[in-house]
Amino acid sequence: MATNIAELDQEKDVAALEKESEPRGPETIADLESVSGQLKQDLEKTFRQDSLDIAALEKAAGPEAAPAVAASQELEKTAAELKEEARIRLDAVLAASQAAFESLSPEEKKQLHTTYQEIPAEVATDRLKKIPPEMQGALKVCGEVFQDCEYPWAMIGSNALVLEAETEKLGDDLDIIFAIQDFDQVYEKLEALEQAGTVEHLKVTEMKNLAGQANGCFKLSGQMKSGERLIDFEAFGQNIDPEKNKNGLVNIGLDEHQVNVYQIPDAKGETAAVNMMDKAGVEKLYFQNLLNEFGLYDLEGWNNRGFLNSKAIQRIANLQNLGNSPEKIVGALPEVGVKTEKAEQAKEVISHLWEGIKGGEYKGPGLTRTLGEKLNLPDNRYRPEKVVDFITKETGAQMKSISEIGKQAEAMEKAAENSLDPKALAEYDGFLKAKIGEVAAIRDRYQEYLGMTSSQDAEADFAPYAALIRLKDYFAQPALADLVVRKIRTEEKLLALEN
């Protein structure tokens, strides 16, 4: 066995040849998980990858940014070109679907893949009690912005979920989906609201998939002023084309959906009709997002979607809040339509995780129970959700910390790369030792949580367990391995200098 990295490097060529002769192609989930290079080709649809911020580009090229633009004419040109190209692509999307839509009557357009249910005033009043007045005011503004859309639109996410789910979790932002065909008129209304001061920081973003290809979707985002609050909003202009892919408004595979129409009042008591995706639609979206996000749950996935740990952990909690047991969630997965190989594989991964926790291997006192008691959370149906919130915040901060350590190590290594200064190398070595200790402590924390996990309380523990185990294996431990290798290399250098 080699005793140092220099010797290992000599062995590397032999190892590479051995690897070449190994059979190719994934055969198991474990194999599939490691084939992360496939990721970028596989993921066809996603709505969270911002790529072209037209408004920002516009600003960069506008008079307020004149000195910067003057300093870089090329930037101005590029920004203008990019903006123009994005507009050309948007027009191309609209033109491509024109033939499919021009024969439809206004009624048929409105009902494309969509049925509407007016919610009676007494039911609406009761359900809306869960939503704070300022959020209701913002929802009413959304109703006014989208009311003239020719095609279906709906609020999705927590605000839609809270109306029909057993949850105390309130939405803190506004998520809307609408047809790209209505883009221009929605943009004009939001622009008018921006001029009136109700909307701030209005932006247009062309969406791309992970392969970096424009997918025909454009996002409008910004902040909406309601009372004392500034509420973030994201309105996704979806590329629907009934002829091409039979997709409805939610173009990741949901064909038909019901929209519940609520009359929502503002502070003055004036109301507007607001479309809320119904429970079944919200549920289908969560299922699809869960699979897409778990499909990205490997090292390359962290690269592309580092925030997914918190997202995915919450999807499971959201689905449970809609009355689905983990058994039911796993049982429903085979029927969920997904468009990528990775997301298809995620079905197996999630089933496997559920088998892992319910199989009896975990004999702790219960993760949700233990943390619930420590945090003085009432022992009721909302406890798992609150524990998920707690863990999400903690792991989020730790992920950030580990990422920072990685960046610092990279920068220090570059600085010390060609250094023959033992002092600089010793300093870098000291940094690595300290950080290995820190990351190991974070990793041990996840291990500790896993030790609390109980197979007997599998239902309550499933959501945090599913994310923690992957965070430990795919984030903390690879970070540790990297720091240790850096440490060994640095110490070898130091030793060589001493000799």
User: What is the token pair recorded at 298?
Assistant: 């490997």
CB 448 within 8 A of CB 465: no
Q: Between 21 and 73, whose beta carbon lies closer to another protein?
A: 21
According to DSSP, the β-strands at 174-179 and 153-156 are antiparallel
* Closest CB 452 distance from another protein, rounded Å: 16
Binding residue for another protein, selected from 199, 231, 399, 463, defined by CB under 8 A: 399
* Helices (H), ranges, 129-164: 133-146, 158-164
* Interface residue with another protein, options 302, 428, 431, 446 (CB under 8 A): 302
In degrees rounded to 5, what are phi and psi of residue 38? -70, -20
Residue 126, Cβ neighbours under 10 Å: how many?
12
User: Site residues for another protein, window 192-221 (CB under 8 A)?
Assistant: none
474 binds another protein (CB under 8 A): yes
By CB under 8 A, is residue 436 in contact with another protein? yes
- Between 166 and 444, CB nearer to another protein: 444
Of the two residues 4 and 195, which places its CB atom closer to another protein in the complex?
4
What is the 3-state composition of the chain as percent helix, strand, coil, each rounded to the nearest 5?
Answer: 60, 15, 25
442 binds another protein (CB under 8 A): no
Whole-angstrom Cα Rg for the chain:
26
| Closer CB to another protein, 336 or 467, in the complex | 467
Per-residue binder mask for another protein (CB under 8 A), 9-48, x = binder: --xx--x-------------xx--xx-xx----------x
Contact letters for another protein, residues 228-257 (x by CB under 8 A): ----x-------------------------
What single-letter DSSP state applies at residue 171?
P
- By beta-carbon proximity to another protein, the closer residue of 49 and 271 is 49
Longest CA–CA separation in the chain, Å: 84
CB atoms within 10 A of CB 258: 15
Reported in sequence order, the residue ranges of 138-238 that DSSP labels E, i.e. its strands, are 153-156, 174-179, 199-208, 214-226, 229-238
Q: Are 293 and 319 in contact (CB under 8 A)?
A: no
Residue numbers 170-189 binding another protein by CB under 8 A: 172-173
CB of 18 to another protein, least distance (A): 11
Q: Does 443 bind another protein (CB under 8 A)?
A: yes
Determine the Cα angle at 5 with ends 489 and 13, to 5°. Answer: 135
Closest CA to 176 of 210, 224, 215: 224
C-alpha 441, offset from chain centre: 27
Taking the complex as a whole, the smallest distance from the CB of residue 479 to another protein amounts, in Å, to: 3
Q: Which residues bind another protein (CB under 8 A)?
A: 1-5, 8, 11-12, 15, 29-30, 33-34, 36-37, 48, 172-173, 232, 298-300, 302-303, 306-307, 309-311, 349, 352-353, 356, 389, 392-393, 396, 399-400, 402-403, 405-407, 432-434, 436-437, 440, 443-444, 469-470, 473-475, 477-482, 484-485, 487-488
